[in-house]
Homo-oligomer: A and B are copies of this chain.
């Protein structure tokens, strides 16, 4: 048992996804925890039915949820997506014919999971409340932090409140008040960098609300208007600088996220700002032009487009993550763009690793604060870089034949050799999404495999696929890859 020698609780700022999970993990180790959250209790409003925003949960997140003992509950409502469902740019058929399923792996268990952000947060808050030692405080907006003394002041409906912790942990998101206090201290390295693209959430309702949906489509897709067993991607529209994705929800709807530049540098008028200036008919025409295969899927498009904000995409990096007796983690320390689906997963991994390090240190949380961030910052920077790189890849290269052949060879190598040499034959996406291999290590291995794939592509050019047929081609790729990877210094 990790009895705490100090009776003061751990003061957690933020009861979002990372904060509430961390509260559970720390309380299970015997620490009293006080969690102060800026917003009201989302459960007080009751579960908000209807439209939900979803996130892709993958192995890193699941591992942490298992440690907290709530994985089963979360996974019960999750929808597995074992691959990407690509919507070619030329596709006009709106029944799903002509989309291309790209499995992440030969193993269908290698799936990312579509989960409801709201539902997950509520499950985590319920779990925190059930765990002895956790005290949740809502409507507590942090207005000041005394980093050295693990003390913070909060604006609450009952006036100002000061709370004192044994240590203070900021899990208060990309615009963290705790990090902001750190930023005012000497020698705090910090950067916030925005992509030139923004995003907007849109909605594909369940078939009942789609009067124009042809008969048979919902039956074909298990009650959905599109195939729910994959992450839908429309890439390369409007000159290549844009993308739309859709993730399924348990209520048979999809949440779409549209990524476009704010202002199209080509000046063709495709950016968000230009579309926002259009009238309803213009917005509809924009969609019919760029996403013709969604034409009966979005009856509330015009309304959604106006009502939902166009949000920015920021990458935040900083160090150190500790000042005095205060620490930051999750988005507060390393907000990343969503193109690898790893923001939440990386934050949950922070929580798991911090908790493990405290356990190993016999509960001496003060002692692990520096080693924790010093070991994590490299990986946070790695996934930040990879997420930005994935945006370029997803939006610009998916239509490039050479890129697609390269990816096909990579998947063939993974299928043939992934079992025998997982350290060398597992693609970057799979290492990031379906293992707990640290991000920087995953990146290194991914780069090595990438070099090997290029070598194999040189020896097995795409013409051979047509010449040999699929099966003999696969054998040939595997043979070449075995030679290249076998000779590689790990």
Q: Could you list which residues of chain A lie within 8 angstroms of chain B, going by C-beta atoms?
A: 183, 186-194, 262, 312
A191 partner, pick from B186, B190, B312, beta carbons under 8 A: B190
Distance of A192 from chain B, by nearest CB (Å): 5
CA of A194 to CA of B190, assembled, Å: 9
- Give chain B nearest CB distance to A144 CB in angstroms: 15
Residue of B nearest to A175 (CB): B184
Contact of A186 among B187, B189, B190, B312 (CB under 8 A): B312
Show 17 residue pairs from A and B whose CB-CB distance is below 8 angstroms, ordered by the A residue: A183-B192, A186-B194, A186-B312, A187-B194, A187-B262, A187-B312, A188-B192, A188-B194, A189-B192, A189-B193, A189-B194, A190-B190, A190-B191, A190-B192, A191-B191, A191-B192, A191-B193
Tell me the smallest distance from the CB of A193 to a CB of chain B, in Å.
Answer: 5
List residues of chain B with CB within 8 A of the CB of A190.
Answer: 190-192
Q: How far is the CA of A190 from the CA of B190 in the complex (A)?
A: 8
Could you tell me the distance in whole angstroms from the C-beta of A423 to the nearest C-beta in chain B?
Answer: 31
In the complex, the chain B residue whose C-beta lies closest to that of A198 is B187
One complex includes copies of this chain to the number of 2
A183 to B192, CA, bound (A): 9
Q: Separation in Å of the A266 CB from the closest CB of chain B?
A: 19
A190 vs B189: C-alpha distance when bound (angstroms): 11
* A38: min CB distance to chain B, Å: 16
How distant is the Cα of A188 from the Cα of B192 in the complex, in angstroms? 8
Chain B residues contacting A183 (CB-CB under 8 Å) are: 192
Give the one of A187, A188, A312 with max B CB within 10 A: A187
Min distance, Cβ A179 to any Cβ of chain B, angstroms: 12
In the complex, the 10 A-B pairs of residues with the closest C-beta atoms, listed nearest first: A191-B191, A187-B194, A187-B312, A189-B193, A190-B192, A186-B312, A189-B194, A190-B191, A189-B192, A188-B192
Nearest chain B residue, comparing its CB with the CB of A311: B186
Report the minimum CB–CB distance from A314 to chain B (whole Å). 8
Which residues of B sit under 8 angstroms from A191, Cβ to Cβ? 190-193
Q: Please, which residues of chain B bring their CB within 8 A of the CB of A186?
A: 194, 312
Distance in Å from the Cβ of A261 to the closest Cβ of chain B? 12
Cα–Cα, bound, A262→B187 (Å): 11
Contacts of A194 in B (CB 8 A): 186-189
Q: A384 CB to closest chain B CB, in angstroms?
A: 13
Q: In the complex, which residues of chain B have a beta carbon less than 8 angstroms from the beta carbon of A192?
A: 183, 188-191
A385, chain B: closest CB distance, angstroms = 15
A276 to chain B, nearest CB (A): 15
Question: From residue A55, how far is it (CB to closest CB) to chain B in Å?
Answer: 22
Given known contacts A183-B192, A186-B312, A189-B194, what 14 new A-B pairs fall within 8 Å (CB)? A186-B194, A187-B194, A187-B262, A187-B312, A188-B192, A188-B194, A189-B192, A189-B193, A190-B190, A190-B191, A190-B192, A191-B191, A191-B192, A191-B193
Please indicate the chain B residues that have their CB under 8 angstroms from the CB of A189 in the complex: 192-194
Query: Nearest-CB distance from A191 to chain B (Å)?
Result: 4
Residues of B within 8 A of A187 (CB): 194, 262, 312
> How many Å from the CB of A312 to the closest CB on chain B?
5
**Cα distance A192–B189 in the bound complex, in angstroms:** 6
Inter-chain CA distance A192–B318, complex, in Å, is 9
Give CA–CA (A188, B190) in the complex, Å: 13
